[in-house]
Amino acid sequence: MLSIGLSRMARSTTFRISRLSPLTPCPSPSRGEGRFRTRTHLTPPLPFRERGLGVRAGRWWIPFVALLLVPLLSGCLLISGEQTMIDLSAGTGNLSTTFVGAEGGEERTVKVSAGAANLRAIVMISLATGDLQIDLLQPDGSLAFAVTSQPDAQVTRSNSVRSDANGLVRYRVSARSARNGEFQIFFQP
């Protein structure tokens, strides 16, 4: 039965035997592709491959979409192992955050009073490696002061900052390859 099937197949199609590739029917000589052809992969060739367009001819748009998404992702802060404790009472308080790793930037708020108030803020940063910067912002969005970390050292800075009409103080956290760090913000009237 097997020999009959091979003999029928041998009559209808020409095969080339090669040690490196399996048997493949030869393409039609009328299409100008020659009499013998070997296959280097196990799937049959598709028509767009024969025209030289390649497998990914229909996916040219993927790099452009990735480039468009980069600005959207650059504005977010990714923090792993974050633990934040907030202890606020009557215009004074403490915000303490520890993390394992951080990358990116984000603006955050913390409620420190019932209404608008002038406060003294003390910011402390300690970090094993990388860069971390804390910016305290005024209600109009201007920079009150900034604290930038130094690896394997604690950096402390204080200055006055105003809360907005709702008692919120805004601060911005910016990190680049920050590892094993901590920052604390103390508020005093």
- Of residues 87 and 43, more confidence is placed in 87
Query: Which pLDDT tens digit goes with each residue over 136-173?
Result: 999 999 999 999 998 889 999 999 999 999 989 999 99
Mean pLDDT across 79-105: 88
Query: What domains appear along the chain, each with residue ranges and CATH number?
Result: 18-55 (no CATH), 77-188 (2.60.120.380)
Mean pLDDT across 164-186: 93
- 86 - beta bridge partners? 95
Mean pLDDT across 4-30: 49
> What is the structure's pLDDT at 115?
86
Question: What residue type is 37 in one-letter code?
Answer: R
> What is the structure's pLDDT at 10?
47
Six-digit token pair at 64? 């452009």
Question: What residue type is 166 in one-letter code?
Answer: N
